[in-house]
Amino acid sequence: MWLKYSFLFSLLIGCSSQPLKNSYRFMAGLSEPEQVKWSFEVAYPVIFANGADRQVIKVFIKDQQDQEFLVKPQDLKVYTDVEIKDLKVLKDKNDLIITFRPLLKSPDFNLRVKWKEELGPPVLIKTTLLPLKDKLKPIKSNFSSGSHIDNIDFTFKENFHPGLFEGFEIYNNGKNRIVSKVDSQRWYDFEYPEQARQNISFLVNDSPNGTVSHTMHSHFMLFPRLILPLVEFKKDRYEVTLTTGEQVIFNQDGEITQGVFNEGPVDIGPDRHTRKYADLKYQGQGIILRANARGLCPQTGQFENNSIDMDYGARFSKDVLIINGKTGQRCRRPKADFWPQRDLNPIEFKFPTDEEFNRYLRENCKFEIPELPVPQKNKKLQAPDEVDEIWSKCEDTFEINKCLASELERFQGSDLLSVLEYELAIKSSGAFQTEKLKAKDQIAEALNNLFSDLSKDLSFVKNMDDQKLFESDCLLEARAKFKNPLRFSDPWAELEAEVRTLCSDLKKEVDQIVNLKIKNLQQHLEQDLSWLQMDQDLKSICLKRSQDYLDQDRHSNLKLDSLKNRVIGVCDDFSKSDTYKNWLTTQRPLVVTQFVNKTLSLLEPQGIEVINSCLRDFPGTSQVERLKLKPDREACLNRKWREMEYRLVAIVLGDSKSISLKIEVQEVLEKIDLESKRTKLRLMKKHF
C-alpha cells in the first residue's frame, strides 16, 4: 500500500511571495510493515549441558505467501535469557543456521531471533545432566575423534551426532609424583558412549614405558549412575563431576589433588608380570566396580590366573572387584557376569539400568546401591529491577537501541548480561510494533516538514542551469534535512526514488519562479537608474546591483553564484538596451570628459616611449653631437607623437559607451591638443 502525502511549496524569490503553480500529491514508496512468519528446526530436543556440546537450529523467515525472505546471517541478532558460548550465525547452502554451546550445567532457556527489528517467538532450548537414554543402540563407529575445547580434550565416535561428545580425557605425562619416568604416563579416559547410561565408565591407563602391550588398563564403573560425567577447567585445575555426582579434582599436570579418589604413582618396576595396576582408592559413598587387564581390554581380557585383590583392586586381573564405598563391603565376581566374553564393539555392560544392577548386587553381593543426591543444573538468573531501570531510561529516547546498548555496557562480563539483553529485546520489540502502527502518519508529517524546508531555503543550489546537478544537490540536501521520526528503522532507502522525482519537479517549478525573478530584475535595472555610475565598469556594478536585489529575499537564500550565468546575461542585455543608450546620451559630456582624462593619463608614459624611440634612431653621446642631431630628433618626435595620439584615443574609444554615443577620435583630439603640446615640449626640453 502506498502512503499519500500532500504539500504546497511556497518559494519566495523577490520582494513578494510567489507560490508554486502546482500542489503535489506525493506518493511515498514505503511499503506496509512486513508480516514475518517464523519457524525453527532444533537439531536436538534435549542437549547435554557439558559446556562442549553444540546445539544447531535452522531458521526460516517467510512472508504471508510462504516465500522466504533473503536474509543475510549478519542481519540476525540472537538473544538468550542465559549466557551461551561460541554463538555463530551462518549460511549452509540455502539454510540459515544458528549454532552455540550452552554453558556447563546450563538450565533450560529461551532463545529469540531478531531480524529488521522483528523479534521471533521464543524457542525453548532444553538441557540436561542426565543420560539421554538407558540402553545403547549401538551406533556403529570404526574410529574415535577428538576436539580441544576450553583446554579440555573431548572425544566422540565418527558416526555420532556432529557437535556432541561421548567422553573426555585427562593426561599425566610427568615428571611428577605420579609419573616419575620420562617415557611413562597415566591417563584417564571418561566415557559415556551415545550419552547413554549403560556404558558410563572411566578407564585408567598406566604406561610404564613405550611398549603398548605393557600398558596396565583398569576399567571403573560408579553407581548410582545419576548423571553423565562433567569436566570444567578452572585456571590451573580440572574439576570432574562423576556419574554419582561426587567430585575429583586434577591439577593441570593431571594429578589428583582432591575429591573421592586418592592415587599412587605408576608402577615402573622392571617385571611386567608383577607390576601393579593404577593405585586408585575410592573414598566416596557410591558403589565402584573395577576390572583390570595388561595390554588387553579389562572387561574381557586377562593374563593372570590370580583373582583381583580385595583391597582396592590394584593387583591381578581375574574377576571383578565391587566395593560399597558407604559401608566398606566388598564383592568379587566373574567378568562374564557383566560383559559378553567375546570380541565385540562396543562391549555392552549387561545392566543398562541401575535397578537391574541393584537386583544383581542384592542377590550376589548382599548389599545394594545407596541413594545419593542428584546434581542439579544451575538456576536461571532473574533481573527484573535492572530491566525496569534501564527501560525507564531509554523508552522515550529517539535512538532507543543506542541508549540500550550504552546502558548495557556497564554489565559487560556480568552473569546478568544475557538475561538483560533478552528481556530488553522483548520490550523494544513491543515498542517497535507500536511504532509500526503509527509509522505512516509520522513519515507523512516528516516529509511535509522536509520539503517545506527545501522550498524555503534554496542555498543548496549551486547551478540553476544544470538539471542533474540540481537534482543531485537537492537529494543530498533532502537526506541531510530529513528528520527520521522512527526510532527503530530508517525508511530513507524506500523514499529515495520518490524524493528524487520530486526534486526533478521542484527544479521545473523553481525554474519558472527564477525566470519571473530574472524578468523582474530586468525591469528593476531599467526602472531605477540611480545605481549607474559613469566611473565604474558596467558589468561589475550591474552584478552587484543584482546581488543586492536578490538578497532582499530572506526566505530563499538563493545564491548569486547559482544564477550567475543568467544574471550576466541580464547585464549584457542591459548594456545593449535602449534605456542604457538613452541614459548614456544624457551623460555624453561626462563620457567625453571621461575619455579625455583617460587619454591624458596615458600621454606621458606613452610619450616617454616615443622620446626613447627617437633617441635610438638618432644616437649621440657628446654635447656637440646632441646639438647637431637636435633638429632630426625633434622632427622624429613630432611625427611619432601625432601617431601616438591617434593610437591612444582609438584604444580608449573602444569602450562600448563610446561606440553607443558615436564619439569620434577627432573630438577627443581637439580637447587634448593643448595639454598634449605642453607635455611634448616638456619632455623634449628634458630629454633632447
Task: Look at residue 354 and tell me whether its pLDDT is greater than 80.
Answer: yes
Task: Look at residue 192 and tell me whether its pLDDT is greater than 80.
Answer: yes
Residue 557, pLDDT score: 60
Task: Look at residue 37 and tell me whether its pLDDT is greater than 60.
Answer: yes
- Rounded Cα gap, residues 56 and 91, in angstroms: 12
Average pLDDT score over residue span 293-302: 90
Quick one: how far is CA 665 from the chain centroid? Answer: 78
Residue 584, pLDDT score: 73
**What HEC string does 428-442 produce?**
HHHHHHHHHHHHHHH
Residue 397, pLDDT score: 86
Task: Among 340, 364, 388, identify where a domain stops.
Answer: 364
| 434-443 pLDDT per residue, tens | 877 777 777 8
Task: Look at residue 308 and tell me whether its pLDDT is greater than 90.
Answer: yes
Average pLDDT score over residue span 571-576: 84
Interior/surface letters 484-513, b for 16+ CB within 10 angstroms, e for the rest: ebbbbbebeeebeebbeebbeebbebbeeb
- Rounded Cα gap, residues 530 and 420, in angstroms: 75
Confidence of residue 29 (pLDDT cuts 50, 70, 90): very low
Q: Which residues pair with 214 in a beta bridge?
A: none
Residue 535, pLDDT score: 65
- The total number of structural domains that make up the chain: 2
Comparing 147-156, 180-189, 272-281, 471-480, the range with the smallest average pLDDT is 471-480
Task: Look at residue 209 and tell me whether its pLDDT is greater than 70.
Answer: yes
Confidence of residue 657 (pLDDT cuts 50, 70, 90): low
Q: What percent of the chain has pLDDT over 90?
A: 48
Q: 663 versus 26: which is more confidently predicted? A: 663
Q: Does residue 294 sit in helix, strand or coil?
A: strand
Residue 90, pLDDT score: 95
Q: 68 versus 534: which is more confidently predicted? A: 68
Query: How many CA atoms lie within 13 Å of 125's alpha carbon, on the beta-carbon side?
Result: 28
Average pLDDT score over residue span 98-127: 96
Residue 3, pLDDT score: 30
- Cis, bond preceding 229 (omega within 30 deg of 0): no
Comparing 97-111, 126-140, 314-328, 474-488, the range with the smallest average pLDDT is 474-488
Q: Which residues pair with 217 in a beta bridge?
A: 205, 293
Q: Is the dihedral of CA 613, 618, 622, 623 positive or negative?
A: negative
| 625-645 pLDDT per residue, tens | 777 888 888 889 888 888 888
Identify whether 200 is part of a domain. yes
Q: Where does residue 579 rank: exposed (0-12), middle (13-18), buried (19+ CB within 10 A)?
A: middle
Q: 517 versus 340: which is more confidently predicted? A: 340
Comparing 527-531, 554-558, 613-617, 647-651, the range with the smallest average pLDDT is 554-558
- Output the nine-digit C-alpha cell for 586: 544624457
Confidence of residue 658 (pLDDT cuts 50, 70, 90): low
Residue 237 belongs to what domain range? Answer: 144-364
Read off the DSSP letter of residue 134.
S
> Of the candidates 170, 242, 192, which has an alpha carbon nearest to the alpha carbon of residue 53?
192
> Of the candidates 3, 1, 5, which has an alpha carbon nearest to the alpha carbon of residue 451?
5
Identify whether 260 is part of a domain. yes
Average pLDDT score over residue span 468-472: 87
Task: Look at residue 385 and tell me whether its pLDDT is greater than 50.
Answer: yes
Residue 668, pLDDT score: 80
Cβ contacts of 345 within 8 Å, gap of 6 or more: none
- Output the nine-digit C-alpha cell for 558: 538563493
Report which secondary-structure segment, H or E, holds 663. none
Q: 512 versus 352: which is more confidently predicted? A: 352
Identify whether 283 is part of a domain. yes
Q: Which residues pair with 221 in a beta bridge?
A: 289
Identify whether 251 is part of a domain. yes
- Rounded Cα gap, residues 655 and 595, in angstroms: 9
Q: For residues 180, 185, 190 and 193, what is the CA-based torsion angle, rounded to 10 degrees? A: -170
Mean residue pLDDT of the chain comes to 86
Residue 4, pLDDT score: 27
- Rounded Cα gap, residues 412 and 433, in angstroms: 28
Cβ contacts of 298 within 8 Å, gap of 6 or more: 203, 217, 218, 219, 291, 292, 317
Comparing 80-84, 100-104, 136-140, 367-371, the range with the smallest average pLDDT is 136-140
Comparing 11-15, 504-508, 524-528, 529-533, the range with the smallest average pLDDT is 11-15
Residues in the chain: 688
> Of the candidates 8, 3, 1, 6, which has an alpha carbon nearest to the alpha carbon of residue 456?
8
Identify whether 399 is part of a domain. no
Task: Among 331, 349, 364, identify where a domain stops.
Answer: 364
* Contact call for residues 361 and 369 (beta carbons, < 8 A): yes
Task: Look at residue 445 and tell me whether its pLDDT is greater than 50.
Answer: yes
Task: Look at residue 579 and tell me whether its pLDDT is greater than 50.
Answer: yes
Task: Look at residue 556 and tell me whether its pLDDT is greater than 60.
Answer: no
Confidence of residue 17 (pLDDT cuts 50, 70, 90): very low
Supply the pTM of this predicted model. Answer: 0.67
Comparing 67-81, 330-344, 549-563, the range with the smallest average pLDDT is 549-563
Average pLDDT score over residue span 354-358: 98
- Rounded Cα gap, residues 116 and 114, in angstroms: 7
Confidence of residue 570 (pLDDT cuts 50, 70, 90): confident
Identify whether 222 is part of a domain. yes
Q: What percent of the chain has pLDDT over 70?
A: 92
Read off the DSSP letter of residue 624.
H
| 492-509 pLDDT per residue, tens | 887 888 888 888 888 888
Identify whether 455 is part of a domain. no
Average pLDDT score over residue span 340-359: 93
Task: Among 364, 391, 409, identify where a domain stops.
Answer: 364
> Of the candidates 401, 381, 380, which has an alpha carbon nearest to the alpha carbon of residue 390?
401
Task: Look at residue 12 and tell me whether its pLDDT is greater than 50.
Answer: no
Alpha carbon distances (Å) from 271 to 209, 274, 551, 688: 12, 6, 111, 138
Place of cell 545432566: 129
> Dmax of the chain from CA atoms?
161
Residue 390, pLDDT score: 95
Confidence of residue 649 (pLDDT cuts 50, 70, 90): confident
Confidence of residue 33 (pLDDT cuts 50, 70, 90): very low
Cβ contacts of 591 within 8 Å, gap of 6 or more: 534, 584, 657, 658, 661, 663
Q: Is 316 left (phi over 0), alpha (psi -120 to 50) or beta?
A: left
- Output the nine-digit C-alpha cell for 489: 528503522
Identify whether 238 is part of a domain. yes
- Rounded Cα gap, residues 16 and 335, in angstroms: 110
